[in-house]
Structure formats: C-alpha cells, structure tokens
C-alpha cells in the first residue's frame, strides 16, 4: 500500500490531497502543516478555505483514508511519496527582492525531510518553484539525508484555479509529471502516474523532463495572465474609440487558434500566482542574461498595474476630480468570485488608490471578513516598479476611512459611487433602483468586471462606467489622465 504525505495544508495541498484520497480509497493520505489553526480548521466542520464542493469531498474521506495533522515528522517519515506544497512568496528583501521566489519554506521542508527519513522517498514539487529548484532540493537531500536513503525528485505542478478547484482536480485538462531521465527517475514518474491514472485518462497525463515541467507551470500562468493584459490593453483603446471590448473579445475568441476563454476584460488580474510567477520568470530571464525576454513578460504586469490605476483615475476624474470625504461602496474584495482569497486582489490597489484620495470606503464581499480587509489594507506592499507607492493607513485613519458592510445595500447607502471589483453572481441581480434611491446624486457605478446591464442602469439614472464599453457623455467630458 502506498502512503502519501503532503507538507502544506493550503489552497493547493488541501484540495489536491482530498481529491487523491477520494479517488484512491486504498491510499492513505495525510496532510501536515506547521500551522495549528490551519490543521484544526481542516479537522473541523468549517474548512479553512472556501471552495465550492470541497466540504463534500472532505466529508467523504476524512477519517477513512484522509487525515490532517501537525505531526509533520512522523507522517513524513512514514510516507512513500511526499508532496511539498508550501508557500513560495516573492522575496521582499535582499537579492532579487520584488521578483525572485522566496524558497525559505521549501528549503526548510527539504532539510526536515532529509532529517526524518529512514526509508526511500519520492519527493514531489507541487507548489510553483523557480526552474531548477529540483536540483537544489536534490543537493539538500543528498548532503543531509541519512546514509542508504534514496530520493527521487519529481515536478508535478498543480493547475487548479481557485473557485473551481474540485472540478479542476476531478477532471484536469492535463496532469504534468517531470522527472529524471534515469531508470530510477522513470520508475518514480511511473509510480506517481499510477496514482493519477485511477481517474485521469492516460492521454491527459504528460511526462517530461524535470526542467520542462517546472518551466511549463510558469509559462502557463504567464500565457494566461498575458491574455488578460492583452484584452485589458484593448479595453483602454475601446473606451477611447467607442468600440465595445465584449464585442471585440467575442469576435477575436471565435478564431479557433485563439479560443474564447480567458478574454474577459477586468479591473486587473489578482490571485497568488500570476504576478508572483511572472516576476519569477522575469528574474530567471535576467539571471540567464535574457533581458529582452524579461522585458516582454514584465509588460504583462505593467499593463495590469496600469489597468488598476486607470480604474481609480476614472472614478476620481468622473466625480469632479475629488472623492475626498465621499462615500464609495466597493462591491467585491476577493480576487475573483467563488473564493474568499484576497491575495494580490486588485481591490487592494483600487481601495488604496481611493483612500489615497481621501475617499470613505464601504466594502462588501460575501466571503471576505472585515479582519481580512483590515489586514490587507494595512499591509505595506513591496515597492517594485509601482506607478505610485502609497503608504498604508494608520489604524486611526483606517477606522475613519474604511467600513465593512453586511450587504451591498448597506454599502451603497448614502454613497456617491459604487465600484464593482469582483464578479460575484449576486451582483448581477441586485435591486439597483433601490440602491440608486439611497445614494447621493449624481449616482455613479464603476463596473470593473462587466457584470451590470449598462443600458438598464442608465435608464435608472446612474452615470455608468463599465471597463472597455462605450462611454457615457458625462465620462467623455471628464477624461481620466493616467
Ligand atoms: C495571418 C492570419 O493568420 C490571418 O488570419 C490573417 O487574415 C492574415 O494574417 P498569414 O500571414 O497568411 O495569415 O499566415 P499565418 O498562418 O497566420 O502565419 C503568419 C506567420 O506566423 C508565418 O510566418 C508563420 O510561419 C508564423 N507562425 C505561425 C509561427 O511562427 N508559429 C506559429 O505557431 C504560427
Ligand atoms: C490561476 C490559473 O488559472 C491556474 O491554472 C493556476 O494553477 C493558478 O493560477 P487562479 O489564480 O486561482 O488560477 O484563478 P484564475 O481563474 O486564473 O484568475 C486569475 C485572475 O484573473 C483573477 O483575478 C480573475 O478575475 C482574472 N481574470 C481571469 C480576468 O480578469 N479575466 C479573465 O478572463 C479571466
Ligand atoms: P498555496 O496557495 O500554494 O497552497 P498556502 O499559503 O495556502 O499556499 O499554503 C501553504 C501552507 O504551507 C501554509 O499553511 C503553511 O503553514 C505551510 N507550510 C509552510 N512551510 C511549512 C513547513 N516547513 N512544514 C509544514 N508546513 C509548512
């Protein structure tokens, strides 16, 4: 019987292991983490992450062949396959600050594996890491491991997206496994392939060398983010010319070579992966002496920052160039719908931009708590290349300028403007007339996700801005300068 242990009970490790346990009842799966509250959460009725369908999967397997524990050493020692799914944030100081991946957690996990292992292990990179990390991990294990214990390192990057994690895991477009091209390496690849083959069709399991697998993950995220920056760049041109970005994206996406998905213009992409992975790609290119390639990918992030800035400028310029003391309702704070995750959410930059102009912001998100909002807005962003760097607010300023509302109507009451920053389904069917009646006039809606029916809202009386859509006369008269 194969035993699996996963180090890191986060957004990736938790759902991935739950689905492996569901599909492989004869494999014992243990997820370990150094964070006691995280593990307690996984063992409770209220899981530490919100992910549609996950409760059900965990309920079916927990106590059967899936468990969560803080006894990291024991479970790593017992396992045949050790997945490593720890966080790899962007370095905030020192060499490569603002770009390179911080491998502190990875290195300490690798040293711990070397310390406690008494039997051979397959060590699987699950979290996204810079290309050639496997080589560094191999060295740590070889130099620190016990005599006679052999390790094989595999790269098995995860492609799930938050909000659809369970669906993505149950029916992935592909599973990618990279390993050494030696007999031992091939055997390790085959062992991991056997795990996935219990539910993933064979032609969807791709095997490559280690470096291809590591680079494919960074490249895939860079390509996805690039599509969003491409459509967002076109959205600015649409507003300038009177074209409609939804019509343009639809027409472009009909070309089978391009395809229709991931072409929704927005206030900007967020999430824990896109920016981090592209910055990492940029850093790697620079390290390998490829400045042109680095510059190409850096532009994807620049356009994303430009898009967020452009949105804030549009809000401020439309409202007579000042939002000082005006209440602005912010609907949606998560980086996308169906998740409570706020890592790198565009809402942080937009809110900070509005607060920098002295607005009073009232935020509503169905899955994000007030404490999370306060933490995010108080956080000092690392100062890489930002068009304008804002100092975080003090606690007193925060209390004066930021409120968290129980619903969209409360957020909009007595507001001058509503900004929609996450595409939650419930924002499509709000009673906008009711909101309009409770707002100051002129009442503005700035839709950063193209969720509202622009014509209907204009009929109600709103001044409406929707990313990449033909502008109201009002907005044409108040041009936003970036
Ligand atoms: C292009 C568009 O495809 C077509 O829709 C438009 O109407 C006119 O421009 P064309 O220039 O005839 O058509 O050929 P295309 O197949 O698009 O190739 C353009 C160039 O890209 C060629 O030099 C081709 O070799 C190159 N290419 C294409 C690549 O280098 N890699 C690829 O994967 C595809
Ligand atoms: C992404 C990748 O999709 C996934 O394969 C990888 O494993 C992790 O990173 P995730 O960040 O969870 O997943 O969500 P995703 O759906 O990719 O959205 C990322 C950001 O792009 C969100 O802020 C989303 O709102 C934005 N987005 C997405 C757009 O603005 N427009 C789109 O058309 C699609
Ligand atoms: P991701 O989105 O990649 O899953 P998260 O930050 O959600 O990232 O999860 C990473 C988890 O890894 C965190 O819960 C963290 O406590 C855990 N972790 C980090 N380092 C270690 C370690 N050395 N041993 C065990 N768990 C770790």
The ligand minimizing its distance to the Cα of 257 is: 1
Same domain, 231 and 123: no
Sign of the CA dihedral running 381, 383, 386, 391: positive
Angle in degrees, CA 110, 86, 44, rounded to 5: 125
Contact status, residue 78 vs residue 120, Cβ threshold 8 Å: no
Q: What residue spans of 33-88 are helical by DSSP H? A: 36-42, 54-61, 72-78
Q: Let me know whether 71 and 117 are in one domain.
A: yes
Protein residues with CB under 6 Å of any ligand 2 atom: 158-162, 221, 224, 228, 262-264, 266, 269-271, 273-274, 335-336
Would you say residue 179 lies in a domain? Answer: yes
Q: Which of 200, 234, 251 is the last residue of a domain?
A: 200
Residue 210 included in any domain? no
Question: How many other CB atoms sit within 10 Å of the CB of residue 259?
Answer: 12
Examine residue 206 and state whether it is found in any structural domain, yes or no.
no
Q: Determine whether the annotation assigns residue 85 to a binding site.
A: no
94 is in an annotated binding site: no
The set of residues, in sequence order, having a beta carbon less than 8 Å from that of 37 and lying 6+ positions away, is 48
Task: Determine the distance from the C-alpha atom of residue 144 to the mean position of all C-alpha atoms in its chain, rounded to a whole number.
Answer: 34
Instruction: Report which protein residue has its CA nearest ligand 3's atom 9.
Output: 10
Q: Which ligand is nearest to the CA of 49?
A: 3
Distance 246 CA to ligand 1 centre (A): 25
CA 275/CA 351 separation, integer angstroms: 19
Using an 8 Å Cβ cutoff, are 156 and 5 in contact?
no
Region of 94 please: left (phi>0), alpha (psi -120 to 50) or beta. left
In a domain, 205, yes or no: no
Q: Is 11 annotated as a binding residue?
A: yes
Q: What is the pTM of this model?
A: 0.94
Q: Is 126 in the pocket of ligand 3 (CB under 6 A)?
A: no
DSSP letter, residue 79: -
273 assigned to active site: yes
Specify whether 193 is located in the same domain as 65.
yes
Tokens representing residue 20 in the block = 């492996």
Supply the range of the domain harboring residue 348. 225-477
Reduced to 3 DSSP states, what percent helix, strand and coil does the chain have, rounded to the nearest 5? 45, 15, 40
What is the rounded CA–CA span in Å between residue 455 and residue 465? 11
| Residues 184 and 259 reside in one and the same domain | no
Phi–psi pair at 156, nearest 5 degrees? -135, 70
Ligand nearest to the CA of 255: 1
Question: Which residue of 128, 158, 176, 274 sits with most ligand 2 atoms within 8 Å of its CB, as the best mutation to test the pocket?
Answer: 274
154 and 267 part of one domain: no
> Does residue 325 lie in a domain region?
yes
Residues 368 and 435 both lie in one domain: yes
Residues 323 and 364 in one domain: yes
Residues 10, 98 within the same domain: yes
171 and 252 inside one domain:
no
Per-residue pLDDT of the chain (482 residues; tens, 9 = 90+): 799 999 999 999 999 999 999 999 999 999 999 999 999 999 999 999 999 999 999 999 999 999 999 999 999 999 999 999 999 888 888 999 988 889 999 999 999 999 999 999 999 999 888 888 999 999 999 999 999 999 999 999 999 999 999 999 999 999 999 999 999 999 999 999 999 999 999 999 999 999 999 999 999 999 999 999 999 999 999 999 999 999 999 999 999 999 999 999 999 999 999 999 999 999 999 999 999 999 999 999 999 999 999 999 999 999 999 999 999 999 999 999 999 999 999 999 999 999 999 999 999 999 999 999 999 998 766 433 344 445 667 778 788 899 999 999 999 999 999 999 999 999 999 999 999 999 999 999 999 999 999 999 999 999 999 999 999 888 887 766 55
Nearest protein Cα to ligand 2, atom 5? 159
Give the CATH number for residue 193: 3.40.50.720
């Amino acid at each position: 019987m194969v035993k699996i242990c996963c180090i890191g009970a986060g957004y990736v490790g938790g759902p991935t292991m739950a689905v492996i346990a569901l599909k492989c009842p004869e494999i014992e799966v243990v997820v370990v983490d150094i964070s006691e509250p995280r593990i307690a959460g996984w063992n409770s009725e209220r899981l530490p992450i919100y992910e549609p369908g996950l409760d059900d999967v965990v309920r079916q397997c927990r106590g059967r062949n899936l468990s969560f524990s803080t006894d990291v050493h024991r479970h790593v020692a017992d396992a045949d396959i050790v997945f490593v799914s720890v966080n790899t944030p962007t370095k905030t100081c020192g060499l490569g600050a603002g770009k390179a991946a911080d491998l502190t957690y990875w290195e300490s996990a690798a040293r711990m594996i070397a310390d406690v292992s008494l039997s051979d292990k397959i060590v699987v990179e699950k979290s996204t890491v810079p290309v050639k990390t496997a080589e560094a991990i191999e060295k740590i294990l070889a130099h620190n491991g016990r005599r006679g214990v052999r390790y094989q390192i595999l790269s098995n990057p995860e492609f799930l997206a938050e909000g659809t994690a369970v669906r993505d895991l149950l029916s992935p477009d592909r599973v990618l496994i990279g390993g050494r091209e030696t007999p031992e390496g091939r055997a390790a690849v085959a062992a991991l392939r056997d795990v996935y083959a219990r539910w993933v069709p064979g032609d969807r399991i791709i095997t490559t060398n280690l470096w291809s697998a590591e680079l494919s993950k960074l490249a895939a995220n860079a390509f996805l983010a690039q599509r969003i920056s491409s459509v967002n760049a076109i959205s600015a041109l649409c507003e300038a010319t009177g074209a409609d970005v939804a019509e343009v994206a639809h027409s472009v996406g009909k070309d089978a070579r391009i395809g229709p998905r991931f072409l929704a213009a927005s206030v900007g992409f967020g999430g824990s992966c896109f920016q981090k992975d592209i910055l990492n790609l940029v850093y790697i290119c620079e390290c390998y002496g490829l400045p042109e390639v680095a510059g190409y990918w850096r532009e994807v992030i620049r356009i994303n920052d430009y898009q967020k800035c452009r949105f804030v400028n549009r809000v401020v310029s439309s409202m007579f160039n000042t939002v000082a003391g005006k209440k602005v309702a912010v609907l949606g704070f998560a980086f996308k719908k169906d998740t409570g995750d706020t890592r790198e959410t565009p809402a942080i930059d937009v809110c900070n931009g509005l607060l920098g102009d002295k607005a009073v912001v009232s935020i509503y998100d169905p899955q994000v708590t007030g404490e999370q909002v306060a933490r995010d807005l108080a956080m000092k962003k690392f100062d890489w290349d930002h068009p304008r760097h804002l100092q975080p607010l003090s606690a007193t300023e925060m209390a004066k300028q930021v409120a968290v509302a129980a619903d969209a109507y409360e957020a909009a009451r007595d507001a001058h403007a509503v900004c929609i920053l996450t595409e939650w389904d419930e924002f499509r069917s709000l009673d906008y007339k009711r909101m309009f009646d409770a707002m100051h006039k002129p009442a503005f809606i700035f839709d950063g996700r193209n969720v509202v029916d622009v014509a209907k809202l204009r009929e109600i009386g709103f001044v409406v801005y929707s990313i990449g859509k033909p502008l109201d006369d009002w907005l044409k008269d108040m041009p936003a300068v970036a």
